Amino acid sequence: MEIDREVPIDPIDRADYFIESVVDDHVKEAMRKAAEIPKGTAGECSFCGEFSMRLVDETCAPCRDKFAKYYAP
């Protein structure tokens, strides 16, 4: 989502405007990626049997990391 603003003429103001635009783009990208993180549930891991406060597809984070090449959500 771009905001239509008048681009400043002064080189320093233009540089500030550019930096704000880049930071804004990075913040939006981080928010988009955060929205894609699946919601977890508490329970017992189906791989290791340990209780975890956040399971994704019944798997805890250490097991998802350990079995990443076999794990396909």
pLDDT digits (tens, 9 = 90+) for 34-64: 999 888 999 999 999 999 999 998 999 999 8
In a domain, 4, yes or no: no
How far is it between the farthest Cα atoms of the chain? 63
Answer whether 43's CB lies under 8 Å from 59's CB.
Answer: no
In a domain, 71, yes or no: yes
The residue range of the domain holding 22 is 10-37
In a domain, 3, yes or no: no
pTM: 0.51
In a domain, 61, yes or no: yes
> Distance between terminal CA atoms of the chain?
30
Answer whether 60's CB lies under 8 Å from 50's CB.
Answer: yes
In a domain, 23, yes or no: yes
State how many domains the chain has. Answer: 2
In a domain, 68, yes or no: yes
> For residue 34, how many other CB atoms are within 10 A of its CB?
8
CA distance 47 to 37: 21
